[in-house]
């Protein structure tokens, strides 16, 4: 495909019924890296992200919170907007599907397709997944009539609906993909879509009568436009469709859609056929990146295992977070998120490799050349070898970046960084300095600056602030983000008089692993996460459990036990009788805290004597292994004393 100098990149527009998490951050960061890279290769870039605000899910979320859908979307869209500067995202537009500019385009496209006969009215009957807002074909229904995507139960629905003639464009779509092998990447996703198309396409229902939160069908307002039909069109709205033809001419179809595998069918089947019906070219590329899980499980609010990007940036900084996500796993592959893996990478790749190379280079130039970067009178073979490694790594980097192979591109950058670190060890500049080998020392110091120059250009799309910091510390003006690759090579352009400078802040301070682990434990605890479950007991049957008689009681008297440091003597009212219970909870509660408290008591425990006092039962409390603090178990609702706990 001809590489024009205009580049349009998009993220999915995110549903606003959830707060942004690491998955959304990942796609947005990936798109940002590509946008920044393309600017450095001389492209004009249009970079779009935004929020998807219509549909039943949003409506229900709003109702559950006692808000109108518009009120909820206004609040929630802000969360996604706020994340952008935090992640250092360079988007050029942000679209909300409730904006007038979008609703106008959606209605106009709908009418146009009705007029030309590509949308028609019929009835739809089938199994519907409400959370996914999609009908599920018989062939894909999961076990027990569940949705194959989210696993939730399907409901039978029958409704009048408008349909888009997807099937009419099936052959044209197949032809397009067969002659554009990189239109869907990676290859596995391409193959998946081809076989899906070959299995036969059905026309797509594009309206709903069962919901009201959506864009009305023009001229038939009992229907609202199906949320996916509406959402996909955002890419056209924000490209100036029907509002700015010059923008359309510039960027369409140079559009690259980025997303995870969950939504590629919408993007690789429905969307291009809609475009074909409009007489427009399909997107040049849909790239499906991998899916992040957390400790092997799908992230979800209910499991409490969602990684919050705001928190990660707050703890580690945007650059380290961006670097880790794109370095840790190949972009097309699924990955499991682990904060400790991120800390290790920060220490090894950023603090150690990159940070040391920069600080050693800058310090030596200050020490031996008063900060002025020397020009080499001649070069030795070891210098030429370093330049050759840098040259081939840059070539590889550019090739990998064009293919969204971000981890490989970063590896190429680290090849230069590691080679330069090794070069310092091999050439021993301190020895050259002490022995007065001026020419050799000039060549080595210059070579290190060149290596750092190229490294900072390579890392700049991933870590914009770090790229800039390296660039300016080795004496360049401006920001590598604003320059073009074609003007920069090893040794070119020849530097004028450049002066390095050292900043007080270390680029990436080393993280002390032990301290970090302690701090993480405390953070997890404060979020109510189980850190260490301690020893587990062997399994028991229900018949064992039912032998324990548990009842609700109330503490009516608390006394100290003479000579016992940890014990209280409690009088507990069980409704039908009062009991004395001796309990080892003095370190955790004052007498006032306990008095009147409702608790759960084991009432059929054999009596025991403690410090001379007989205890006729035991109260229940929770604690975390290895941590101080105890929490009494109590019924949440007010319930009569003596009630049985099952
Ligand atoms: N609103 C639709 C998209 C419409 S585009 C015209 C939608 N929204 S979403 O909020 O559910 O976002 C899905 C996208 O978020 C995924 O395709 C992916 O880009 C990103 N991710 C959400 N969770 C993710 C992971 N756990 N891992 C990686 N990316 C994930 O679908």
- Separation CA 87–CA 68 (nearest Å): 30
178 and 37 inside one domain: yes
- Separation CA 230–CA 253 (nearest Å): 19
Could you give the 3-state DSSP secondary structure of residue 378?
A: coil
560 and 435 inside one domain: no
- Confirm if 265 and 286 have CB atoms less than 8 A apart: no
Sorted by sequence, the CB contacts under 8 Å of residue 188 that are 6+ apart come out as 332
42 and 164 inside one domain: yes
Question: Which of these, 237, 242, 231, 238, lies nearest to 267 by C-alpha position?
Answer: 231
C-alpha angle with apex 179: 177 to 185, nearest 5 degrees?
50
345 and 203 inside one domain: no
Which whole number is the average pLDDT over 32-38?
Answer: 98
Radius of gyration of the chain (CA): 32
Would residue 300 count as lying in a domain? Answer: no
- Separation CA 593–CA 555 (nearest Å): 10
The dihedrals phi and psi of 627, each to the nearest 5 degrees, come to: -125, 150
Structure tokens at 269: 């089947």
- Confirm if 612 and 578 have CB atoms less than 8 A apart: no
- Separation CA 466–CA 354 (nearest Å): 10
Residue 477 annotated as binding? Answer: no
Q: Is the peptide bond before 166 cis (omega within 30 degrees of 0)?
A: no
424 and 275 inside one domain: no
Would residue 294 count as lying in a domain? Answer: no
Atom of ligand 1 nearest to the CA of 298: 26
- Confirm if 146 and 154 have CB atoms less than 8 A apart: yes
Atom of ligand 1 nearest to the CA of 259: 19
Sorted by sequence, the CB contacts under 8 Å of residue 643 that are 6+ apart come out as 551, 552, 575, 635
- What does the pLDDT look like over 469-507, one tens digit per residue? 999 999 999 999 999 999 999 998 876 678 998 888 889
pLDDT at site 3: 53
pLDDT at site 628: 60
Residue 129 annotated as binding? Answer: yes
Residue 539: band (very low, low, confident or very high) from pLDDT cuts 50, 70, 90: confident
Share of the chain above pLDDT 70, in %: 97
pLDDT at site 2: 46
Mutate to test the pocket of ligand 1, among 9, 12, 26, 258 (most ligand atoms within 8 A of CB): 12
Distance in Å, CA 49 to ligand 1 centroid? 12
438 and 535 inside one domain: no
487, 521, 551 - which closes a domain = 487
Q: Is 49 touching ligand 1 by the criterion CB < 6 Å?
A: no
Q: Is the pLDDT of residue 625 over 90?
A: no
342 and 282 inside one domain: no
- Separation CA 569–CA 583 (nearest Å): 7
| Full residue range of the structural domain in which residue 261 is found | 6-289
Could you give the 3-state DSSP secondary structure of residue 483?
A: coil
pLDDT at site 449: 97
- Separation CA 106–CA 110 (nearest Å): 6
Q: Is 231 touching ligand 1 by the criterion CB < 6 Å?
A: yes
Ligand 1 atom 23: the closest Cα is on which residue? 23
Ligand 1 atom 7: the closest Cα is on which residue? 14
Tell me the CATH number at 78. 3.40.50.620
Distance in Å, CA 530 to ligand 1 centroid? 28
Instruction: Give the total number of structural domains in the chain.
Output: 3
Q: Which residues pair with 129 in a beta bridge?
A: 134
- What does the pLDDT look like over 150-197, one tens digit per residue? 888 999 988 899 999 999 999 999 999 999 999 999 999 999 999 999
Which whole number is the average pLDDT over 531-538?
Answer: 65
Distance in Å, CA 526 to ligand 1 centroid? 29
- What does the pLDDT look like over 462-473, one tens digit per residue? 999 999 999 999
Q: Is 255 touching ligand 1 by the criterion CB < 6 Å?
A: no
Tell me the CATH number at 592. 2.40.50.140
Would residue 310 count as lying in a domain? Answer: no
191 and 61 inside one domain: yes
Which of these ranges, 17-26, 419-428, 583-592, has the smallest mean pLDDT? Answer: 583-592
Would residue 257 count as lying in a domain? Answer: yes
Distance in Å, CA 257 to ligand 1 centroid? 12
Tell me the CATH number at 477. 1.10.730.10
pLDDT at site 6: 97
284 and 176 inside one domain: yes
Residue 147 annotated as binding? Answer: yes
SS (H, E, C) 224-279: EECHHHHHHCHHHHCCCCCCCHHHHHHHCCCEEEEEEHHHHHHHHHHHHHHHHHCC
Which whole number is the average pLDDT over 120-131?
Answer: 88
Q: Is 570 touching ligand 1 by the criterion CB < 6 Å?
A: no
Structure tokens at 529: 């996460």
Structure tokens at 557: 């008297």
């Amino acid at each position: 495909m001809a590489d024009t100098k205009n580049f349009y990149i998009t993220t999915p527009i995110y549903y606003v019924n959830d707060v942004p998490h690491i998955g959304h951050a990942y796609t947005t960061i990936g798109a940002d890296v590509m946008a920044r890279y393309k600017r450095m290769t001389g492209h004009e870039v249009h970079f779009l992200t935004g929020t998807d605000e219509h549909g039943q899910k949003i409506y229900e979320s709003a109702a559950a919170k006692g808000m109108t859908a518009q009120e909820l979307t206004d609040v929630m869209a802000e969360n996604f907007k706020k994340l952008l500067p935090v992640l250092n995202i360079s988007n050029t537009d942000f679209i909300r599907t409730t904006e007038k500019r979008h609703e106008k385009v959606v209605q106009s496209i709908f009418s146009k397709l009705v007029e030309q006969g590509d949308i028609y009215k019929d009835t739809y009957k089938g199994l519907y997944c409400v959370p996914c807002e999609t009908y599920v074909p018989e062939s894909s229904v999961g076990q027990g009539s569940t949705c194959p995507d989210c696993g939730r139960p399907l409901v039978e629905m029958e409704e009048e609906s408008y349909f888009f003639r997807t099937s009419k464009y099936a052959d044209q779509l197949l032809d397009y993909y067969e002659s554009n092998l990189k239109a869907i990447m990676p290859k596995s996703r391409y193959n998946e879509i081809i076989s899906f198309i070959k299995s036969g396409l059905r026309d797509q229902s594009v309206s709903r009568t069962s919901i009201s939160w959506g864009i009305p069908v023009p001229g038939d307002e009992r229907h609202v436009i199906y949320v996916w039909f509406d959402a996909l069109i955002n890419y056209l709205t924000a490209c100036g469709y029907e509002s700015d033809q010059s923008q359309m001419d510039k960027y369409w179809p140079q559009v690259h859609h980025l997303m995870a595998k969950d939504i590629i069918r919408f993007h690789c089947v429905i969307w291009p056929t809609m475009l074909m019906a409009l007489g427009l070219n399909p997107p040049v590329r849909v790239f499906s990146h991998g899916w992040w899980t957390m400790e092997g499980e799908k992230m979800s609010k209910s499991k409490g295992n969602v990684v919050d990007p705001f928190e990660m940036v707050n703890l580690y900084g945007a650059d380290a977070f961006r670097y880790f996500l794109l370095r840790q796993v190949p972009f097309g592959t699924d990955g499991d998120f682990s904060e400790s893996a991120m800390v290790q990478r920060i220490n090894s790749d950023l603090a150690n490799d990159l940070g040391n190379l920069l600080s050693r280079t800058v310090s030596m130039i200050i020490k031996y050349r008063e900060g002025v970067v020397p020009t080499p009178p001649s070069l030795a073979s070891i210098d030429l070898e370093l330049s050759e490694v840098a040259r081939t790594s840059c070539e590889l980097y550019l090739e990998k970046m064009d293919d969204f192979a971000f981890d490989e591109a970063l590896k190429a950058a680290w090849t230069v960084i590691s080679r330069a670190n090794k070069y310092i060890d091999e050439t021993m500049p301190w020895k050259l300095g002490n022995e007065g080998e001026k020419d050799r020392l000039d060549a080595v110091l210059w070579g290190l600056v060149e290596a750092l120059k190229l490294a900072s250009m390579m890392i700049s799309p991933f870590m914009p602030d770090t790229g800039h910091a390296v660039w300016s510390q080795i004496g360049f003006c401006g920001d590598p983000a604003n320059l073009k690759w074609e003007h920069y090579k090893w040794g070119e352009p020849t530097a004028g008089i450049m002066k390095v400078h050292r900043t007080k802040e270390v680029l990436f301070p080393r993280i002390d692993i032990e301290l970090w682990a302690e701090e993480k434990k405390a953070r997890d605890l404060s979020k109510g996460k189980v850190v260490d479950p301690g020893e587990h007991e062997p399994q028991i049957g229900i018949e064992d459990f039912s032998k324990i008689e548990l009842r609700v009681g109330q503490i009516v008297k608390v006394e100290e036990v003479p000579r016992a440091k940890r014990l209280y003597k409690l009088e507990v009212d069980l409704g039908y009788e009062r009991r004395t219970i001796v309990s080892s909870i003095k370190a955790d509660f004052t007498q006032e805290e306990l008095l009147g408290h409702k608790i759960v008591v084991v009432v059929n425990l054999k009596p025991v004597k403690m410090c001379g006092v007989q205890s006729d039962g035991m109260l229940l409390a929770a604690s975390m292994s290895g941590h101080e603090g105890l929490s009494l178990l109590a019924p949440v609702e007010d319930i009569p004393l003596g009630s049985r706990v099952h």
